Amino acid sequence: MRLRPSALRGFAGLVALGAVACQEHEPEVERRGPPLPDSGSPASCPSDGAGGEGGVPSVPVRFCQAEIVLRTVCQRCHQDPPLHGAPFPLVTFEDTHKPYEGEKLRWERMKEVVASDFMPLRGSGLDPPVDYLTCEQKSTLMGWLEQCAPPEGGTDCDGTSETLVACDERWRRDGG
């Protein structure tokens, strides 16, 4: 069966219209809490891992240093299974490298929401109340995330041998 050119143009128009309609449709996702900040573009990492330029810390932050913040702050909700509406666990190094949305990984989303102070989520009614990260906590976690969350220093953390990094003035909040 051979279609006439006008029929082909009509079919092509329907396909194009369907593609536009699907692009503009966003699936409904149940989300508890305030809206998340926009994600922007994927993270880029220094190719040599040395850091020190463009806001990347000059001293490498090891995963087990970042794990102190994950364990003492984030895992209040980001347990396995997650509590209080948290969307996923952040218990292991592997948890931080699982997909978040599309090609983005969880650590990339963590970098966005921690940098913007969206996380840790305050006003959730928890007792004791959730507070902002200290400058040392945020400097440690952001230092690791800005390095693209490497397994630097290993991922088997004992919780006792690591310390937080010193406060990076970029992450100091008014009052400390």
pLDDT digits (tens, 9 = 90+) for 20-58: 343 443 333 343 444 444 444 445 665 444 344 445 566
Domain region containing 119: 46-171
Q: How far apart are CA 41 and CA 158, in angstroms?
A: 34
C-alpha closest to that of 36 among 144, 109, 122: 109
User: Per the structure, how many domains does the chain have?
Assistant: 1
Q: What angle do CA 55, 170, 64 make, to 5 degrees?
A: 75
Could you tell me if residue 5 is inside a domain? no
Any domain includes 142: yes
Q: Does a structural domain hold residue 25? A: no
Q: With respect to residue 11, please indicate whether it lies within any of the assigned structural domains.
A: no
Average pLDDT over residues 112-117: 96
Residue 10 counted as domain residue:
no
pTM comes to 0.71
SS3 content of the chain, % helix, strand, coil (to 5): 35, 5, 60
